[in-house]
Amino acid sequence: MSDPKKLYIKTYGCQMNVYDSERMAEAMGGEGYVETQDPAEADMILLNTCHIREKAAEKVYSELGRYKSLKAAKPDLKIGVAGCVAQAEGQEIMRRQPMVDLVVGPQSLHRLPELERRARGGHKALDTEFPEELKFDHLAERPRAARGPTAFLTVQEGCDKFCAFCVVPYTRGTEISRPADKVLAEARDLVERGVREITLLGQNVNAYHGAGPHGDWSLARLVWALDKVDGLDRIRFTTSHPGDMSDDLIEAHGECPKLMPYLHLPVQSGSDRILKRMNRGHDAESYLRLIERIRAARPDILISGDFIVGFPEETETDFADTMALIEAVRYGQCYSFKYSARPGTPAAERALVDATEASDRLTRLQALLTRQQHQIQNAMVGREVGVLFERTGRMPGQMVGKSDHLHAVHVTGGGISTGDLRRVRITESAPNSLGGVPIGG
Ligand code: SAH
Ligand code: SF4
Ligand code: F3S
């Protein structure tokens, strides 16, 4: 028998791309490919790309440039571009980088095997349609290989919100929710293969409204159904929009035992003027009230967020409002970005804030967020938390896992293995992780 062909996938962007990459690897498994971590030995290289900011999109072209010599040495090597850059710039990629053999958008990735066959036949293959059929229903059956203790599971995809800065509604298309029974079946399958924690994914995951028995299910209803799955210990979901944070979901945070005390709830800005220009659909005050209600339901919940600084027309006063909102919320973890104008979005037409000014604001904002992150981490010292161990650490005998609040926690000793869920007393707080000792056996 000939050796299996090798597939190298490089993934950029959000968790949904991580999930999609897994599914593409599985689909290509059905075509006789096995994954490799080394592009030099690959028969096919696939870049799963992100278009969210200019820098992310440009990385694709520099990465492709690095494969030129590989392709010259091995003309049979097929190079593909998937993901959101593929969706946004499909033809342009083929023009700028003629060595690209195939381009596949996020909603047509179930057609990848067919595109690969076309590419093997010497044709350029491009599919960036939003097909009628749902990719989820047409993806290859998963090979039933064992899995690590954590997994992503996409339940909702696409976005109808059209924030003025954002490409996602264009690259991922309109909002679609998967039927509840499909999600539950996939969750049970993951659990049978060793998964103990599932993170439900969606661009607006809390807008989930999948078909279920007796009408549409909300995300809260789905979370409660997953709570009943034996062997599943932890449930998370991301990313939520403040406008879709329904009462039943807030309640679930207080009452559902397996739902972890962590919520990613991006607000982007604390200025009402900028929020309006961003088309976010809510103001700062309503966001703060929402956070209060969530904390009333689950007092120890860790809130994380995203911020954009230097959005067109943002003044120093607008920025001060953002800093004030951050002070009021006290975030445990945040991602923050300098505004990047994206072609085709409404905000791209507007005048940019001075680049030095924007960088200076980002520095000040990140200093505040880092301070808050450390305060919250330091306050964990002395507390007992659950930790799901995911891998060995760098030190001998060390194991690393994630706490209920998604802090990285390292522990030495205690006879811990990957996949163990243990109670740990936190004893130290380092810049980006916590240290602790396991409690009991
Ligand atoms: N659905 C999520 C966000 C997905 S994009 C939500 O609504 O919050 C992830 C993050 O990238 C956004 O929260 C935003 O902070 C950032 N982002 C999106 N477009 C951007 C742009 N044009 N420039 C800078 N940051 C951007
Ligand atoms: Fe983008 Fe806004 Fe949709 Fe989030 S809600 S994906 S930021 S358009
Ligand atoms: Fe990037 Fe597309 Fe995700 S633009 S953030 S990979 S949805």
CA atoms within 13 A on the CB side of 239: 16
Burial class (CB in 10 A: 0-12, 13-18, 19+), 153: buried
| pLDDT greater than 90 at residue 137 | no
Residue 238 confidence (pLDDT): 98
Q: What is the mean pLDDT of residues 260-269?
A: 98
* Cα 166 to averaged position of ligand 1 atoms, centre (Å): 6
Which tokens in the block code for residue 236? 């998370």
Give the model's confidence band at 237: pLDDT under 50 very low, under 70 low, under 90 confident, else very high.
very high
Residue 103 confidence (pLDDT): 97
* Cα 203 to averaged position of ligand 3 atoms, centre (Å): 9
Percent of the chain topping pLDDT 70: 98
| pLDDT greater than 80 at residue 139 | no
Q: How far apart are CA 133 and CA 118, in angstroms?
A: 21
Give the model's confidence band at 385: pLDDT under 50 very low, under 70 low, under 90 confident, else very high.
very high
pTM: 0.96
Residue-wise pLDDT tens digits, 417-434: 999 999 999 999 999 999
Residue nearest to atom 4 of ligand 2 (CA): 203
| pLDDT greater than 90 at residue 245 | yes
| Mutation choice for ligand 2 from 163, 240, 277, CB with most ligand atoms inside 8 A | 163
Give the model's confidence band at 84: pLDDT under 50 very low, under 70 low, under 90 confident, else very high.
very high
Percent of the chain topping pLDDT 90: 93
Mean pLDDT rounded to a whole number for the chain? 95
CA atoms within 13 A on the CB side of 381: 11
Crossing angle for the helix pair 316-329 and 355-378, to the nearest 10 degrees: 10
Residue-wise pLDDT tens digits, 1-30: 568 999 999 999 999 999 999 999 989 998
Q: What is the mean pLDDT of residues 42-57?
A: 96
CA 282 to chain centre: 23
Q: How far apart are CA 251 and CA 19, in angstroms?
A: 28
Residue 441 confidence (pLDDT): 57
Q: What is the mean pLDDT of residues 107-129?
A: 93
| Mutation choice for ligand 2 from 17, 52, 87, 166, CB with most ligand atoms inside 8 A | 166
| Mutation choice for ligand 1 from 167, 277, 290, 308, CB with most ligand atoms inside 8 A | 308
Give the model's confidence band at 136: pLDDT under 50 very low, under 70 low, under 90 confident, else very high.
confident
| pLDDT greater than 90 at residue 346 | yes
Residue 143 confidence (pLDDT): 62
Residue 141 confidence (pLDDT): 66
Contacts (Cβ under 8 Å, ≥6 apart) of 310: 338, 339, 352, 353, 355, 357, 358, 359, 361, 362
Torsion of CA 17, 18, 21, 27, to 10 degrees: -110
Contacts (Cβ under 8 Å, ≥6 apart) of 260: 234, 235, 236, 404, 405, 406
